[in-house]
Amino acid sequence: MSSASTAVLQPFDIVIVGGAMAGASLALGLAKLNQGRTQTLSIALIEAHQADDSHPGFDARSIAIAHGSIFELERLGIWPKLSHLGTAIADIHISDRGHFGMTELNAKPLGLPALGQVVELAQVGKVLFEQLQQANISLFCPAKLSQLTTDTDGHYLTLDDGSRLSAKLLVAADGANSVVRQQLNQGADSIDFNQSAIVANIQTDQPHQNCAYERFTETGPLALLPMGNVKGMQAKNSARLSLVWAVSPAQAQQLAHTDEADFLQQLQQAFGHRVGRFTQVGKRVTYPLTLTTMARPIFHRCVFIGNAAQTLHPIAGQGFNLGLRDVVGLIKVIESELNRQPTTDKNLDAETKTDAAIDVGTSAILHQYLASRQSDRDSTLRNIEFLVRGFSNQHWPLVAGRSIGLRLLSWLPPLKRPVAQIAMGWR
């Protein structure tokens, strides 16, 4: 292992720090962008953890990938490798506990096979890392960023294994507690909702019929996502669902440590019996719920994407879907820059072609990315905060207003389409 002082500096056009969902998707999308081009980008990905059960980005959670995100993952060449892991969401049932507000969003009237797909992150992580190892990407894993310095032309990274890298463009995809953000002294605004999420896999005594549920309770939203059955389950009379339950921090601690029977009884009381009787619960994990955002997710030759740029409350399941739109937006801006570059002279030798100037870290490119993402990002953040505050509030005018709103969606089906389009990530 070379020391930081003696290791050879390895130059890259783009270095991505963080290889969970957003970072891995970006690396694979950029590798696909390179295909068939004379001038290509050199790409490095730094990831601190192997893709196993210890990886915090590929843990026991499940996420809903919206229909629009599936479309983008198809274009990036990623979804064909993941599709076998998905469980379709045919319907979304939305209700307000203790009140008359209720509605459903359905794929069939929209002419779609599904509103989205549910995947288990632990399974996805293994597949993505297999793709990363096969792609034309320099993968540094496991490795952590130890030191970051900056000058006019780029960033210089030292890893904990002694490797030294330079980047014309640095992409921070390293999560809510971004080390890159800390190293560059970039701040982020945070709203504490005074809620924590209980996350677990649940088994019921009835099939889920590919229906997802969003139930608003006094403490916060309770979401259930349909999951595929595993070996040993009786598929005809049972089902697995992924639970995300927002409660107060004190209640989260109580629910995390109470016995299984008591937990299931409290869950049944909060949710009701629309999916039958809850019979088993897997490992329970708690997460504090905040809304953390960077006002400007760019810096000198650096872009922040996914949870490094904004960490969302899990209500409406928009976290990864917004992060993927960051990924797609950045790739489009870089592709536009590559297409603008003059074609390399065919008479030049290979070495001259390789050294042709491609700079994707310029201020113009970063501001073009920022402008392309601002509207979608701002509206999503506003909607999330509105939903959290509006549906966790028991003030009667708000309760009446949201109940009427949900009922209007049921009574007037044309109103559902714009709501469904937002839920599916159509922009």
Q: Considering the entire predicted model, what is its pTM?
A: 0.88
Neighbours of 330 (CB within 10 A): 25
Domains detected in the chain:
9-98+119-191+290-423 (3.50.50.60), 199-288 (3.30.9.10)
In 368-380, which positions are buried (b, 16+ CB within 10 angstroms) versus exposed (e)? bbbebbeeebeeb
Contacts of 23 (CB under 8 A, 6+ apart): 16, 17, 45, 47, 171, 173, 174, 305, 306
Identify the pLDDT of residue 4: 46
Identify the pLDDT of residue 218: 81
Are residues 51 and 78 in contact, defined by beta-carbon separation less than 8 angstroms?
A: no
Identify the pLDDT of residue 285: 92
DSSP strands (E only) in 217-321: 221-227, 239-247, 278-281, 285-293, 298-299, 302-304, 310-311
- Tell me the per-residue pLDDT of 274-295, one tens digit each, with 9 for 90 and over: 999 999 999 999 999 988 999 9
Q: Which of 272, 267, 269 is nearest to 256 (CA)?
A: 267
Q: Residue 103's beta-bridge partner residues?
A: 94
Estimate to the nearest angstrom the gap between the alpha carbon of 364 and the chain centroid: 27
CA distance 261 to 50: 35
CA distance 173 to 291: 17
Tell me phi and psi for residue 293, to 5 degrees.
-140, 145
- Tell me the per-residue pLDDT of 38-62, one tens digit each, with 9 for 90 and over: 889 999 999 998 876 555 555 568 9
Question: Which segments of the chain have a pLDDT < 70?
Answer: 1-6, 52-60, 97-102, 230-237, 342-357, 389-427
Q: Specify burial of residue 208 (Cβ count, 10 A radius: 0-12, 13-18, 19+).
A: buried
Token output for 103: 């509605």
Identify the pLDDT of residue 61: 81
Q: Which of 196, 223, 207, 198 is nearest to 281 (CA)?
A: 198
Tell me phi and psi for residue 195, to 5 degrees.
-135, 155
Identify the pLDDT of residue 382: 84
